[in-house]
Amino acid sequence: MDSVKTPGLYIHIPFCLSKCPYCDFYSSTSFSAISDFLDALFKEMERYGHRFDPFDTVYLGGGTPSLLSLEQLEDILMNVRKNFHLISNAEITLEANPADLNQSLLESILEIGFNRINIGIQSFDEKVLDFLGRRHSVRQAISAIEASRKAGFHNIGLDLIYGIPGQDMALWFETLKQAVTFSPEHLSCYQLTIESNTPLGRRYQAGEFSIPGEELQYEFFMKTSQFLEHTGYIHYEVSNFARGMEYSSRHNQKYWNHSPYLGLGPSAHSFQGNQRWWNHRSLDQYLATIKAGDFPIQGKEALTMEQLQLEALYLGLRTKNGICLQDFKNRYDSDFLSGKKKILEKLEEEGFLSIRNGRLYPTPTGLAIADSLSLI
Ligand code: SF4
């Protein structure tokens, strides 16, 4: 939680060629509305105007932003620049599916202004890709990474998923070891979460498969962390690793350190001060509200000081950097941490937290149980 709070811009591209059965993100597989969506998105940008900027990050996520044509991607960045001020070395990320990428396209993507690419690899095991319902193959994953490097990307992030039914440690490590052979600047290793409202969630509830128990999950987490740290990556957030802090995701850090962010597009969330709001999770409703001249906001909440403090504590403890106690005092209520002194000291004794040099840090074990630390 540092005092510099430059805002970030997130743009949700709500289209996918097919839905992966585990995914809970909002997207549509019907492409007929792409051009209406882009028109609405540009209107939404105009409507916000200069209320947030300057931004130092732009993140195109989704959905599958790499499904858009180069012209459409260029149009989005042009409209971002027309409506908002970006600082000169802004981090501009494109989330991509390996199946959509080739070297000449990647060269053009770099040329129009993206300087970071985050590729949804998930696994280098064909069977796992099949279980996850991914539309790309292992061969496509490998050639997408190689093409990104050859095209000139110096900031490549790979997403991987572990804890897949039937996957043991050895199988997961085959994927992990293959990933590091490409020396990606950033790795996100997510544990598979089964969302009840997804096709995979329904199969799980029907008892079709089981998932690793808590002990095995902990082992996956710790061994992944130890291996990647040993290989030269910094485990800087529960699921995120960077080959040097300069490669940590500047954009995602905004979510963890309570920086302001503006989210555009269906289902996107925004945060500023103590206000949080989110857009309609339906393309039709998003288009209709924009057409009616309104903001496409579905809901909002004003966080109380206590909610802000709890969130800051919980989010800060998800990061290796932890929480700067002085910053916390300045920004929130000075009494909060001293009010939690007993429980924090107990967690320190038990090896989950460490308090030193004016900061409160999670230990590696603390990172592994970061979700439960939110309950303190
Ligand atoms: S995981 Fe990605 S590609 Fe798959 S449905 Fe979700 S957003 Fe689309």
Write the pLDDT tens digit of every residue in 219-252: 999 999 999 999 999 999 999 999 999 999 999 9
pLDDT digits (tens, 9 = 90+) for 67-90: 999 999 999 999 999 999 999 999
Query: What local confidence, expressed as pLDDT, does residue 1 receive?
Result: 42
Split at pLDDT 50, 70, 90, the class of 345 is confident
Give the residues surrounding ligand 1 with Cβ less than 6 Å away. Answer: 16, 19-20, 23, 25, 27, 62-64, 97, 120
- Report the mean per-residue pLDDT for the chain: 93
Q: What is the pLDDT of residues 181-193, one digit of tens each?
A: 999 999 999 999 9
pTM of the model: 0.95
φ, ψ at 346 (rounded to 5°)? -65, -45
Provide the pLDDT for residue 135: 92
pLDDT at 322 over 60: yes
Q: Which pLDDT does position 241 carry in this prediction?
A: 98
Higher pLDDT, residue 330 or 235: 235
pLDDT tens track for 271-301: 999 999 999 999 999 999 999 999 999 999 9
Mutation choice for ligand 1 from 11, 18, 20, CB with most ligand atoms inside 8 A: 20
Separation of 30 CA from ligand 1 center, angstroms? 14
Kindly report the protein residue whose alpha carbon is nearest to atom 6 of ligand 1. 23
